[in-house]
Chain A
């Protein structure tokens, strides 16, 4: 099955700085990579996603890059704001051990933006 690794586990930046979170995946057949933001006790919220036919996607202050050859993808947040503080999860949509396709999540990155 798929293995998704995410780094770093915690990240503290000053307001206005950039934040980068990186993930690697193991299943070369994975073709959909969403990023979720989760605040304490809340549901994961999709913030951006990328499909394997694209190398980069940007939405205002958020961008995601994908390197299929190296099997890694990254989330970039520019001009960070205190409200960006949350836990961010990367995920890869791939075939599970059961043969079903589902999202496998990374372990999460706790981002703290210091005002």
Chain B
């Protein structure tokens, strides 16, 4: 089946530094990737939708300058949390839909990245 690899799984960084999270589709081409954020014991909130070769679309309330998304190829999307602060600490999960997938086809999730900003 379709596999989405997300790296790193855990990262601890100091306040003010930037962190890059990678999301790769291993056995399919992902024209669209979604980045979600999940607080402890809460639901997944969509942050942005990225399409290969174009700018990401950010949901309301998500700062595009703080959460930089790049989808440079059909198998890789990256999320960079810039100038991280403790309130950015969260679980970030990417998901992908294949090139052949229609909008109502299953999404495949990465394993998530637990970010802790000290």
B107 within 8 A of A: yes
Q: Is the CB of A97 within 8 A of B109?
A: no
Range of interface residues on chain A? 20 to 34
Given A98-B58, A103-B34: A44 touches B106 (CB 8 Å cut-off) = no
Most chain A CB inside 10 Å of its own CB: which residue of B46, B60, B114: B46
Q: Is the CB of B114 within 8 A of A41?
A: yes
Q: What residues of chain B lie closer than 8 Å to A51, measured between beta carbons?
A: 104
A100 within 8 A of B: yes
Q: What residues of chain A lie closer than 8 Å to B58, measured between beta carbons?
A: 98
Task: Give, as a whole number of angstroms, the nearest-CB distance from A73 to chain B.
Answer: 14
Range of interface residues on chain B? 20 to 34
Task: Give, as a whole number of angstroms, the nearest-CB distance from A66 to chain B.
Answer: 13
Q: Is the CB of A93 within 8 A of B43?
A: no
Q: In the bound complex, what is the Cα–Cα distance between A102 and B43 (angstroms)?
A: 15
Given A32-B104, A93-B104, A102-B34: A42 touches B49 (CB 8 Å cut-off) = no
Contact of B107 among A41, A42, A97, A103 (CB under 8 A): A103
Most chain A CB inside 10 Å of its own CB: which residue of B45, B57, B91: B57
The 19 sampled A-B contact pairs (Cβ below 8 Å) are A34-B107, A42-B111, A43-B111, A43-B112, A44-B44, A44-B93, A46-B106, A51-B104, A89-B44, A96-B46, A97-B60, A98-B49, A98-B58, A98-B60, A99-B57, A102-B34, A102-B46, A103-B95, A108-B41
**Interface positions of B (Cβ within 8 A of A):** 34, 41-46, 49, 57-60, 91, 93, 95, 103-107, 109-112, 114
**Interface positions of A (Cβ within 8 A of B):** 31-32, 34, 41-46, 49, 51, 89, 93, 96-108
